[in-house]
Amino acid sequence: MSAGGSLEDRFKAGFRRHAAGVTIVVGETPDGPVGATVSSVASVSADPPLLSFSLARTGTAGARLVGSTDLSVFVLGAGQADLATAYADRRAERFTAEQGWRRGPNGLVLPGAVATFRGRPAHVIPAGSSWLVLLVVEDVELGTSAPPLVHHDRAYWTPAPVPETRAQRPLRVVEG
């Protein structure tokens, strides 16, 4: 069943119903770091470690990120919605001391991130109005064990556990 509106509008509305984890993707450039909020990160392979994400081709942050040779993907925790909002707004100030950024031996560090994936782009593919980036992960830093930050229907959320269902209960092996 199709609702009214163009295919593009329905496509966007459909994905607003899809909950996704929230990250900030950061690249180092000669002009300093560049970053953007990204909720399209996906695991591609554990051997070798690869992840993918997409970036809009319309903004300057995306163009600068796909031109970076080193990228870091910071997975945000529940208390970091303000950061996600700032890095989604091209006018917002970024990489400030108040946001908690500091320089570490392997690049920028964001205290409070639940994980950080560092690597280099293997492929950047133009895909419609976006770029699809395949990142070869060279390092993973595990951060806090905070609940994840999730984006759903233009808002940030923190998921709660679903009450145990029959499908989640361990199976009991009956012999005989």
> Which CATH number characterizes residue 66's domain?
2.30.110.10
Residue 44 forms part of a structural domain: yes
What's the pLDDT score for residue 156? Answer: 96
DSSP line for 11-64: HHHHHHTS-EE-EEEEEEETTEEEEEEE---EEEEETTEEEEEEEESSSHHHHH
What's the pLDDT score for residue 172? Answer: 62
Residue 4 forms part of a structural domain: no
Report pTM: 0.89
Q: How confident is the prediction along the chain (176 residues), in pLDDT tens digits per residue? A: 566 799 999 999 999 999 999 999 999 999 999 999 999 999 999 999 999 999 999 888 999 999 999 999 999 999 999 999 999 998 999 999 899 999 999 899 999 999 999 999 999 999 999 999 999 999 999 999 999 999 999 999 999 887 877 666 666 666 65
Residue 173 forms part of a structural domain: no
Residue 174 forms part of a structural domain: no
Residue 175 forms part of a structural domain: no
Q: Domain residues for 42?
A: 9-168
| Distance in angstroms (rounded) separating the CA atoms of residues 28 and 10 | 36
Residue 39 forms part of a structural domain: yes
Residue 3 forms part of a structural domain: no
Residue 105 forms part of a structural domain: yes
Q: How many domains does the chain have?
A: 1
